[in-house]
Structure 1
Amino acid sequence: MSNIDARRLLRRQQHGVLSTLSKKLDGYPFGSVTPFVLDHQARPVILISTLAEHTKNIAADPRVSLLAHDSSTDIQANARVTVVGHCARMEDQTALRARYLRYFPGAADYFATHDFFFYRIEPAHIRYIGGFGAIHWIEVSSFAAPENQLAAQEDAIIAHMNTDHQHNLAAYCRHFHGVDTNSAQMVGIDTDGFDIRVDTQQLRFDFNQPVLDAQSARSALVAMAEACRA
């Protein structure tokens, strides 16, 4: 299931290398490191300034790629995924703000200025390398997340978990990642899993199967809590 593996790998990452076509240098590739989050269809969203070189490049030619990879000492053996697509400023600049700020709370100051905007990459091609010999071009249709209702329900789910189920969040961290904590906070949930911040560390938890709404998310979270107590 390389399509799901690629999507899950991308969800684990918070930063990648954004490559644009340079306006100043006559189309040469221009790489820059950028934070990103995924929306609920698994499309990368970045927050960038109109003054940045890559933003000027995107305005001239929207074709981009975003490379993200797991960290390890053997960079060539790392799993990695490259999203190739078209990047454009989002019409709705508020829809992803809360989600983005949960993942990157330090970005709040950017909204005090008037030149930072959300841009979304619409994937056209996906390249996934799971390791030596595991190389795939993935159809965009199979990479995209299944239709789900979590975009409208995410805020409420997170508020409920962080208010009423702190003990479960801490148990997930201990059981699945071996991390002891009293300050776990859920920051995001999607069809493939969820993320918890522990101090300055962010932990990713995968669901066994995709969840499509708050009810199926609840069932998956309860099953994981029961696994922690087993």
Structure 2
Amino acid sequence: MSVKAGKHARELLLKEYRGALSTLSKAMPGYPFGSVVPYCLDAQGHPLILISRIAQHTHNLHVEPKCSLLVGERGAEDVQAVGRLTVLAQARQLTDDAAIAAAAERYYRYFPESQGYHQAHDFDFWVLEPVRSRFIGGFGAIHWVDQVTLANPFAGEGELSMVEHMNSDHANAIAHYVELAGLPTHAPAQMAGIDSEGFHLRIGQGLHWLPFPTSCNTALEVRQALVVLARAEVWPQAAPASA
């Protein structure tokens, strides 16, 4: 497995925000059961989902936590010519109050509408802990990926502070990012999250991940990257990954 394949697989997981969750059916033993779930990535870079206690996939996971999440590039005319990723994982329900609070704070930033039904109905947070992944980057580019996720060095108060600062004080810069990246303009963009490799913008109910030109490991590096992008006339090319 090349470093490049792992990076591209992780970028696909970041770029998308919904996938097909496959569980083993409780009602029909031995058969896979597919459903669609929105997700964001937690502090460890693992997919975080919010699912109803009465849903079939939840009943299935309580019996057998082995599952997979299939993610593909949105809007593709030829699905076999673009990237797709199957993450084989162990699902784990969050039960610790502190972990649930941290998950809720992050998830609500990505999916604000979820706050209402989470608090009013019986929904729980689950984390999908990757075991191994299969990444297809197009025709002939097929890899098993043992490590697809990357911990977010800013997760928690640091990330929240940067996101709130950008949304409250730098709306013009965010609008410039939208223009540079050619993103939809039907609704104002809000920053939803920041990781070492890029950041998420929420436009309406859609999420869009944009890469930094180079990885950022400190808040100062993030600030410098955001300033560069705010002044750029075209989106800078990201540094290529090693083979």
Q: Does 1:8 align with 2:15?
A: no
Alignment gaps of 5+ in structure 2 = 236-243
Aligned residues: 228
Q: Tell me if structure 1 keeps the 8 A contact 2:40–2:107.
A: yes
Q: Distance in 2 between matches of 1:88 and 1:180?
A: 37
SS in 1 for 2:142: strand
Tell me, yes or no, if the aligned pair for 2:51 and 2:58 is still in contact at 8 Å. yes
Per-residue CA deviations over 1:58-117 (Å, capped at 9, x if unaligned) read 110110000000021112112111110100101321112122112211112222335211
Q: Structure 2 vs 1, CA of residues 40 and 210 (structure 1 numbering), >3 Å: closer, same or farther?
A: farther
Mean CA deviation greater in 3-12 or 192-201:
192-201
1:33 CA drift (Å): 0.6
User: What SS is found at the alignment partner of 1:105?
Assistant: coil
- Give the counterpart of 2:58 among 50, 55, 58: 55
- C-alpha separation between the residues in 2 aligned to 1:105 and 1:184? 13
1:148 shift after superposition: 1.6
Deviations 1:27-57 (A, max 9, x none): 2111111111111322001001111111111
Aligned to 1:76: 80
TM-superposed deviation, 1:156: 0.4
Q: Which of 116, 122, 135 lines up with 1:109 in the alignment?
A: 116
Match of 1:175 in 2: 180
Give 1:147-226 correspondences, 5 Å limit: 148-177=153-182, 183-226=188-231
The question of whether the paired residues in 2 share the 8 Å contact of 1:13 and 1:69 is answered with yes
8 Å CA contact 1:171, 1:228 repeated in 2: no
Q: How does 1:124-143 map to 2 (within 5 A)?
A: 124-140=131-147, 143=148
Measured after TM superposition, the shift of residue 120 of structure 1 is: 0.1
Q: Which residue of 2 aligns with 1:35?
A: 38
SS at match of 1:17: strand
2:86/2:135 contact within 8 Å kept: yes
Does the CA-based 8 Å contact 2:111-2:205 persist in structure 1? Answer: no
CA 182–200 in structure 1, closer or farther in 2 if over 3 Å, else same: closer
Give, as a single letter, the amino acid of the residue that structure 1 aligns with 2:108: L
